[in-house]
A and B are shown apart, each in its own frame.
Chain A
Amino acid sequence: MRATYPFTAVIGQDEMRLALLIAAVDPSIGGVLVFGDRGTGKSTTVRGLADLLPPMRVVTDCRYHCDPGANGSGCEECQQRGKTGPLPCETAPVPVVDLPLGATEDRIIGALNLERALTTGEKAFETGLLARAHRGFLYIDEVNLLEDHLVDLLLDVAASGENVVEREGLSVRHPARFVLIGSGNPEEGELRPQLLDRFGLSVEVRTPSDIATRIEIVKRRDAFEQDAAKFAAEWQPESEKVRNQIKSARAHLSSVNIPQEALEQTAALCVGLGTDGLRGELTMMRAARAFAALEGSSEVKISHLRKIAPSALRHRLRRSPLDEGGSTARIERSVEEVFGA
């Protein structure tokens, strides 16, 4: 197993780290898009997230690793098995699946199992990456280089939570609920606007310009390369802390109170910015609630909304294609107006 750089050892990039933790606490957030400079540790951070996720309970022998507790939302097989008695279960790590560039559609959505078809003439369904990512994360590095029709397909499945395969005489549907994480560098082409606003949170990353931070990043990277095991061990306590933070945030997510005032202010902010539809408001409330849960707060506060607004809204502003990345500044101005300086 390749050693991964610990998530907790990543310096700076607070917005990206917070967005990923929020998605870990509330997967219904609708995915995270990370766009920005090269060499800022985008993919390192995403891959490091896998180690922090508390393991999940799954149905034994289910190839979609269904949740034994979820009545009726499991795959067809689990629903059948569930009728005859309680399902056997075990714990498994939360999947963080890489979708490499150059992957073909059949491997993404699943297809006829070629081996069994050729050797035994059997018509069997071979699951794809979407099945593997169920209840976990699906990560696409350089998402802006992925063929548009594949991104479309992924976002459709991510939105519906179900993968429907109708090909080669197969007719299969299975649950596929995952958090889509995309990262990329805008210089290599922007993501189409209609895809952009379907991501829940959108994060901008920049190379830190502060020299001390830069030096510390290079030092840690060097220490990791010299002895990955030792480095990981040093960060183990910190990772444990964050893992517990995610666990407890999940546990009391549903009990976090959203005051009427917060709802009204969010609506005012979205109206002021002219974001289309309700998706922005919805995402912002969910993200703020998850953030409050992470902080151990029992109520969504203005400070939570403030911090979350740019990630939740920056990609939903109507803007001309020639606009500079001025969305963040616009949001900050509106935030000042609505929430006071």
Chain B
Amino acid sequence: MHDETHNVIELRCADAALAAAIFAAGPSTIGGVVARTEAGPVQECWLESLKSLLPAGGPVRRLPTHITDDRLLGGLDLAATLSVGRPVADRGLLAEANGGILVIPGSDRLSAAIAGRIVSVLDLNEVTLERDGLTRRLPASFGIVALDEGRLDEDRAPSSLRDRLALHIDLQGLRLTEFLADLFVREDIERASHEHPAVSLSHDVIAALCEAAAMLGVASLNAPILAVRVARIAAALDRRAIVSADDAATATRLVLAPRATRLPDAADETPPEQEPKLPNPDDVEKPAEPEGKALRDMLVAAARAALPPQLLALLKSKKSGRSRASSAGKSGARQKSPRRGRPVGVSRSESRDGQRLNIVETLRAAAPWQSVRRRERSLAEVPAKRRLVHVKPDDFRFRRLKYRAETTTIFIVDASGSTAVQRLAEAKGAVELLLADCYSRRDTVALIAFSGRGTETLLPPTRALARAKRNLADLPGGGGTPLASGIAAAGLLGEAVRRKGQTPGIVLLTDGRANISQDGTPGRARAEEEAVSAAHKLRASRTAAILIDTSTKPQFHAARIAEAMGATYIPLPHADARTLSDAIKAQMDRRAP
């Protein structure tokens, strides 16, 4: 990352500043910004400069990732309700942010459930509150600044949210010193925010943006729709009444390029089936007319220049481009995070440790008795001390939460040459059985493979088990065995899983015959030493693990790794589906508190 040339860094800094300006000129128009960043001065500086561009007095709210529904959407204001003696609604954070912005630090840890609530508010520009006996529609039009602080590539904000936020920028590796130049002042922004809706835009630009999106493999139509809006704002910022090619290029760089799932091939002409030749009933101009095509090519070139080098390398390595944009399938699992638990109703029982009072249900229980109790009390009490709402211990209702430990099983599959082809097939078969098991437990799974081609996370934590199966089936075998990097990758992923409040479990399928060390040099002795030490590290993280020995004649290699990892050792020849499944279950149970 640090070998980037000075120019590239400069360009990224300029883009970060431009993104802030575009956002400030139309926060709710473009949904918002996702910034990949580390907590630190660069992030703070960028955020401050962004805030300085916003109209004065607009609300700026921060959304903690562990927010509860009553604070997010709103609910009953208990204090007010009790003091006035009738239900009073409390606005949630989303309604409070109306007309301003919402900052989400650590958006990579946001659950799909919360993201889903935010996204539906973004779509409608209002909060539809149906909670605690209250029905309200509250205006909520705001822009979001999502700060992705995850360390791994897979640690991203839920894809539903990313899809709705137009600008995706990367602040990582930027230096503060190059960051200070202010491109715009608040007056520019204010003018642009009034003028951008009136900026005109030719159909050629729309067509070119759509084609560029297609060439970059961006599937969601929200991307070109947002790019059109961004192009308008970019034009307004530059005091233009018509969107120019440069504005379209800006939109491509900030909206489309970061979503790319494949590399645009300049030589690759539009494939024939994509050429629009059917006479569409509605006046569709041919997008491929010469001028439009030149514009498209220019946009694609702009996108190519803006692709971060890591992404470029990654896209190059997989020609067809497995959809990265869809990688956040992990999210489903988190909707019932153990910290929140699943509310399964209320109980009347006495409070046991840590049970939370369900205030609304308690009030409901107390409500019918108010007039009776008021009458009783007024005889006994001094008028000054009279209570507005009479609640007795008998009315107390408690939330019943069903806790369920969320488990993410990380499969690491050794796809090296030493695992002979038919053994690999067998190992895959075993994993498929285990996957079926995970399905019945509603677990999340992740898949890492290592082979001569290196270590690759084939699937970040997800519940889309069909995808896991497909990726597994596509897995080619061959080459050396970089066991140490495989184990290390699993450890890292396990750590990420733990940060999300879930419990990781590791299933490693290997013959244990490491022959490539972590820096990529071949050599059995060193590779094995490294593998053992990586395994030791994993043990230190106290992650439950199982090692399935895939060698034809089990030898000490794999057993030694298993011991170092503190893993249960199962040689595959003796393991049928049942044994494997039972072993995994036993592990899960051991981990359960």
Contact = CB atoms under 8 A, between A and B. Distances in A.
B211 interface: yes
A218 B206 contact: yes
B370 A117 contact: yes
Chain B contact patch, size range = 35 or more
B120 A187 contact: no
Interface core residue of B342, B367, B370 (most chain A CB under 10 Å)? B367
A39 B221 contact: yes
A337 to B, nearest CB: 25
Contact of B335 (A37, A111, A145, A210): A145
Contacts of B222: 38-39
Contacts of A218: 206, 209-210, 221, 224-225, 228
A216 B221 CA distance: 11
B128 A115 contact: no
Contacts, number: 215
A38 B160 contact: yes
A40 to B, nearest CB: 7
Interface stretch (B45-53, B184-192, B247-255, B323-331): B323-331
User: Chain B contact residues: over half helix, strand or loop, or mixed?
Assistant: helix
Contacts of B367: 112, 114, 117-118, 121, 168
B439 A322 contact: yes
B33 interface: no
A210 to B, nearest CB: 7
Contact of B113 (A2, A38, A145, A225): A145
Nearest to B219: A207
Contacts of B364: 106, 111-112, 114, 117, 168
Contact of A39 (B131, B163, B360, B369): B163
A215 B370 contact: no
Contacts of B270: 211
A86 interface: no
A147 B342 contact: yes
A185 interface: yes
Interface string A301-325: 0000000000000000000111111
Contacts of B158: 188
Contacts of A226: 197
A123 B368 contact: yes
Contact of A188 (B124, B160, B224, B371): B160
Contacts of B463: 189-190
A141 interface: yes
Given A118-B389, A218-B206, A321 B130 contact: no
A244 interface: no
22 contacts: A2-B124, A39-B163, A40-B221, A100-B120, A104-B130, A107-B131, A112-B368, A114-B363, A114-B367, A117-B370, A118-B370, A121-B368, A121-B372, A145-B112, A145-B332, A168-B364, A187-B331, A207-B221, A210-B274, A211-B287, A222-B225, A322-B436
Given A39-B219, A114-B363, A221-B225, 9 more contacts: A38-B163, A102-B131, A107-B133, A117-B368, A117-B370, A120-B371, A212-B276, A322-B439, A324-B470
